[in-house]
Structure 1
Amino acid sequence: MPPPGETGEPRQRLHPLSPALHGAKSLVVVIAGLSWSTLSRVGFGWFAAMVVVLALGATVLSIVSWYNTGYHVVGRELRVYEGLLWRRTRAIPLERLQAVEVVRPLLAQLTGLAELRLEVVGGGKTEAPLAYLSVADAVALRERLLALAGRAAQPVAPQAPAAGPAPVPAGLPPTATALPPGRPLHAVRNEDLLVSQLLTPQAFLLPFGVAFVVAQFLSEGSWSFIAVASTLTAMAGVVLQPVRRVLDDWNFRLARDGGTLRVRNGLLETRAQTVPLHRVQTVRATWPLLWRMKGWLRLRLEVAGYSVGEGDERNRPDRLLPVGDLPTAERIVAEVLPEVPLSGVGLTPPPSRARWLHPLGRNALGAGLHERVVAVRSGLLTRQLTLVPYARIQSVRVVQGPLQRRLGLATVHVDTAGGAGAAAESRDLGEAWWLAAELIARTHAARRVG
């Protein structure tokens, strides 16, 4: 019950299966923490006993923690109570609420549960994850919190069979899953996603790793179990990133609903994220080296209110297009930044003396001003184009390093509330100061119009 003097609903607990799911996650961590060397020293029997004891202990702690965890809404605040030895209460003002995400990891999908994650403006990380609730409770609480925050509720459809086949955009395979609510913009083909991750340095290094293992085995005559396991673990680390990207972006669907973008993606862990368009700070297009032979690129966003320092990048709603061609990217950018062409912004390279600082990549650098955005190009092997709307610029800096001072060059940094912003590198000093003054003037003008 809420403390005396407070008004609000009774304190709610998480789903009773939550301790079991947390215990299962703890078991994976325990097994990973007990290295192969531990197994070789104590033997399989003692190793299994250690795993069981530690897993049971983690489960008991999870149950006690679940008993002391709760939440309820008091006025325009969501209050979350947690802690075992040290009790903690977090009060989240709903006017600072940016979005609420319904996330379903694999174990949650198998048990019909979901995790609710809150993003607040200025938060250092995802706030108050409520793990776990039933899907119906998670969706209902999400709608309620968004409504209290002054935003229209945006329900997330549970993982249930639809009454009829969902419309599939032209060009998509008939196996494409249903799009999120709203006007469909694009659905990424899973085949393209797989091929894109095969065209990565990690994928090309894998055959060399296999050849090394085989060569070592043939030269030594035989390998111990520990040596084989350690080598395979190292190889798995090489391919982890592309495999993780495939799992994260599987069945990627993008839709627009009024002033928001809706993103739905994931295979083992499904995610439904809402991206408010008025919070978008930059749009970044990236052309990896091996993708360019197929004419592919990816699009990312910087969104104000989300932590750029979040340890798990999957928590950030920055995906706009995991892989696609230029016409598709142009169409999507037009939804986010109307009347801004992705490939039509005139860019000028730095002066020729910048070759002393960028002997190979001078021609890959560029900067230009569009009617609505400043565009900056960078990268040699991996090309990158960043578009920053004038109304989103927080500050402009002109920076000179020691060598730049000798060459009469400077770098113009454009800072945004989203974090990284953009940097026009090694411009002529006079041009850099003119560019900074022009950006400030256009920023003031864009904010007056907005």
Structure 2
Amino acid sequence: MSAGPGEPRRLHPLTPPARGWVVIAACLGVVVHNVNTGWATPSRLGIGLVVVVPIAFAYGYVSWWFTTFRIEGDDLRIDSGVMFRRTRHVRLSRLQAVDIVRPLAARLFGLAELQLQVAGGDKAEASLSFLGEADAQKLRAELLARAAGVRPDVGEAPEQALVSVPLSAVIGSVLLSVATWAAIAPSVAVVVVALVFHEIAFLLGFLPLFLAAWQFTVGRVIRNFDFTVARSPDGLRLQHGLLEQRHQTVPPGRVQAVRIVQPWPWRLRGWVRVEINVAGYGGKDVDNKETILLPVAPRAIAHGLLGQILPGVDVDAIELIPAPRRARWHDPVGWTALAYGADAEVFVARSGRFHRILDVIPHAKVQSVRRTQGPWERRLGLASVHLDSTPGPVHVKAARRDAAEAEAMVAEQAERSRIGRREAGAERWIHNGSDSSSGPASSPDGGAR
């Protein structure tokens, strides 16, 4: 990538073979699907290998040749398409995040994918796949610098390690998960039935069930493998993944809401999980790899990391107001866990008797405040208050409040949000990192790394 500013650049020449595994996987899928029908004869397999695969790779090289990108002022322009040309302009001033992803197939060729997230989106606005790993790092640093309004040749910002999640903690968190055993039990039952009745082909019909069990067990370990969090002037940097390695930067000033989750089996170890809403990511799935700030860690370390995102905020010091006693008629089990609180900076809501959830949202990030009241709530004189954020796993809700209290809360939080937005000022990608307190890099077992 030696082209100058404004000049078109191309993806790495090894992009077509790096993408070619999809064609091979599709051919194998057709063979497996028709293995019992007699359709997958050796001659047809030969035709697929000799004709289909080379044609697919040839089209891949033509598509690569017609795909270029360039930086034009405040835009990243991407031109693509063979039969139908497509031009996409990505405004660098609206960038929320620039992630580097290394799928397994790309890593074999020394390549990486660059994913660009912008404000107002719920998925990647654009991606460049694939670039050389060094070129991807260089282009990422250039885009972040241009988004911050500084010199594009400023280079990669330095980083300081904060948290490293041991593999033992990742495996332990998966084993101490109700969802894990709920996914494994049906799969084991199906395998036992197939072995007892000697119907091995019977297993093919339950392939989606096995894939779900994989995602909830081994897949979670693979996604969170070697999970590290580091601090840099442009935000918190997350790196994780065994087969697909992801290098993600989360600008603290653009985190919209935070959720601290503690499933009841994790209480034995004092572990919690930290999830976030970041504009541009979306992702409502609890295991979405783009919205997990920390997959598992002791509560003290999680709260310390929360201090990096919300400096000066101590959620433990915020007094929580419990729900009224008549809320037990609506939530007989979980009503004692319902509570909310607020200080000058954030609003906090707690819920979950067994699956504990603590939601935190800065007043300046609240997009709307609304009051809801179902028929049973109306009968009990209760109502719930919702503080809406950008799409993501965090949904802040003060549930089962007294109806008059909820009405006053809506007006109070609306005013706090207006004041918070007025005092927040402009957000910037890169800031002076010297104002952040330095501390030892920690691991979830409580020790310094």
Range of TM-score over shorter length: 0.7 to 0.9
Residue 35 of structure 1, CA deviation: 6.9
Deviations 1:278-307 (A, max 9, x none): 101111000112212221110111112433
Q: Which residue of 2 aligns with 1:295?
A: 270
Give, in angstroms, the shift of residue 132 of structure 1: 0.7
The residue aligned with 2:230 is: 255
Instruction: State the AA in 1 paired with 2:36.
Output: S
- 1:190 matched to 2:167? The reply is yes
Aligned-pair identity in percent equals 37
Partner in structure 1 of residue 20 of structure 2:
23
Listed as ranges, the matches of 1:37-436 within 5 Å are: 37-41=33-37, 42-43=39-40, 45=42, 48-49=45-46, 52=49, 53-151=51-149, 181-205=158-182, 206=184, 209-218=187-196, 220=197, 222-224=198-200, 226-231=201-206, 234-258=209-233, 260-308=235-283, 313-314=288-289, 316=290, 318-418=291-391, 420-436=394-410
| Structure 1 portions without partners, runs of 5+ | 1-6, 157-179
C-alpha RMSD of matched pairs (Å): 2.6
Change (3 A) 1:181 1:36: same
Residue identity opposite 1:440 in structure 2: A
- RCO comparison, higher one (Cα < 8 Å, 6+): 2
1:207-245 C-alpha deviation (Å, 9 max, x unpaired): 563354234422x2x224x22444466334223233222
Structure 2 distance, partners of 1:311, 1:348, is 27
- Quickly say closer, same or farther: Cα 1:59–1:348, change in 2 above 3 A: same
Matched residue of 1:442: which SS?
A: helix
Is contact 2:370–2:385 with CA below 8 Å preserved after alignment? yes
On the 8 A contact 2:258/2:359 being kept in 1, the answer is yes
Contact 1:411–1:425 (CA under 8 A) maintained in structure 2: yes
The CA deviation at 1:54 is 4.2
Deviation sequence 1:358-414 (CA, Å, 0-9, x none): 122111221112332111112343211101111211221111122222221111111
Which residue type is aligned with residue 18 of structure 1? Answer: T
Distance 1:232 1:406 in 2: 47
CA contact 2:122–2:279 (8 Å) conserved in 1: no
AA aligned to 1:186 is V
CA drift at 1:112: 1.0
Residue in structure 1 matched with residue 10 of structure 2 by the alignment: 13
| Aligned-pair CA distance for 1:349 | 2.5
Would you say 1:449 and 2:418 are equivalent positions? no
Instruction: Return closer, same or farther for 1:155/1:190 CA change in 2, 3 Å cut-off.
Output: farther
> 2:304 aligns to what SS in structure 1?
helix
Q: Which amino acid aligns with 2:83?
A: L
Encode CA deviations 1:8-38: one digit per residue, 9 max, x unaligned: 6332221111111111123224433x27441
Q: Which residue of 2 aligns with 1:440?
A: 414
**Length, aligned pairs only:** 415
Cα gap change, 1:214/1:50 in structure 2, threshold over 3 Å: closer, same or farther?
farther
1:82-139 Cα distance to aligned partner (Å, 9 max, x none):
1122110001122122222221111221111111111111234212211111112212
Q: Secondary structure at the match of 2:344?
A: coil
Displaced runs of 4 or more, over 6 A: 309-312
Counterpart of 2:447 in structure 1 is none
**Contact kept? 2:252, 2:309, Cα under 8 Å:** yes
Q: Supply the distance in 2 between the matched residues of 1:393 and 1:380 (Cα, whole angstroms).
A: 26
User: Which sits farther off after the overlay, 419-428 or 49-58?
Assistant: 49-58
SS in 2 for 1:255: strand
- Amino acid corresponding to residue 438 of structure 1 in structure 2: E
TM superposition shift of 1:186:
0.8
Q: Structure 2: how far apart are the matches of 1:229 and 1:418?
A: 36
Q: Secondary structure of the equivalent of 2:25?
A: helix
**Offset from partner CA, 1:37-60 (integer Å, 9 cap, x none):** 411102463674475354444323
Q: Secondary structure at the match of 1:109?
A: helix
Letter in 1 for 2:171: L
Amino acid at match of 1:81: D
> Amino acid of the residue matched to residue 16 of structure 2?
P
Gaps of 5+ in 2: 425-449
Query: Within 2, Cα distance between the matches of 1:405 and 1:88?
Result: 53
For the structure 1 residues 311 and 372, does the alpha-carbon distance in structure 2 shift closer, same or farther, using more than 3 Å as the test? Answer: closer
